C-alpha cells in the first residue's frame, strides 16, 4: 500500500465554488508540504505545515494538518481559473528524511 495518498486523483469544479483536496499518510508526519504544478512545468511552493492542528492560509488557499499529524487538507475558496493545475503534497517523516511526494490531484476549473 502507498505511504502517502492524495484524493481525489482529479477534480473538476465550477468557477466560484469551493473545493478540498486531501493528503493522507500511513505514518505520523514530521512535516507536510503543499506544492502546485502547472502542466509541463516545475513545482511552486505553497505552504509547509509542521505542528499538529496547524493551519496556514495564502490568498484563497488554506491548508490544515490534523492533530494526529497523519492527514492534511487543502481548501480553495471561490475557485478561479488560475487555481487550475496539479496539487502535490510532500511528506517529511523525520528531520533527516527526504520529501516523499504524493501522485497529485489534477484540478480543472470550469468557467
**Least distance between other proteins and beta carbon 98 (Å):** 5
Cβ neighbors of 93 (< 8 A, separation 6 or more) are 27, 28, 29, 30, 100
Q: Which three cell numbers stand for residue 107?
A: 484540478
Q: Is 34 in the site for other proteins (CB under 8 A)?
A: no
27 scored as a contact of other proteins (CB under 8 A): no
Nearest to 17 by CA among 87, 97, 109, 82: 109
User: What would the grid cell of residue 21 be?
Assistant: 483536496
Determine, following the binding rule CB under 8 A, whether residue 101 of this chain makes contact with other proteins.
yes
Interacting residues with other proteins between 38 and 97 (CB under 8 A): 40-45, 48, 88, 92, 95-96
Question: Using CB under 8 A as the criterion, which residues of the chain lie in contact with other proteins when the complex forms?
Answer: 33, 35, 40-45, 48, 88, 92, 95-96, 98-104
Amino acid at each position: 500500500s502507498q505511504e502517502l495518498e492524495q484524493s481525489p486523483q482529479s477534480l473538476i469544479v465550477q468557477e466560484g465554488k469551493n473545493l478540498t483536496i486531501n493528503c493522507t499518510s500511513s505514518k505520523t508526519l514530521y512535516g507536510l508540504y503543499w506544492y502546485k504544478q502547472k502542466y509541463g512545468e516545475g513545482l511552486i511552493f505553497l505552504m509547509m505545515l509542521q505542528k499538529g492542528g496547524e493551519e496556514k492560509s495564502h490568498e484563497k488557499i488554506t491548508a490544515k494538518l490534523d492533530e494526529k499529524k497523519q492527514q492534511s487538507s487543502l481548501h480553495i475558496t471561490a475557485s478561479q481559473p488560475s487555481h487550475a493545475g496539479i496539487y502535490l503534497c510532500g511528506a517529511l517523516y523525520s528531520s533527516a528524511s527526504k520529501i516523499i511526494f504524493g501522485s497529485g490531484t489534477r484540478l480543472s476549473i470550469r468557467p
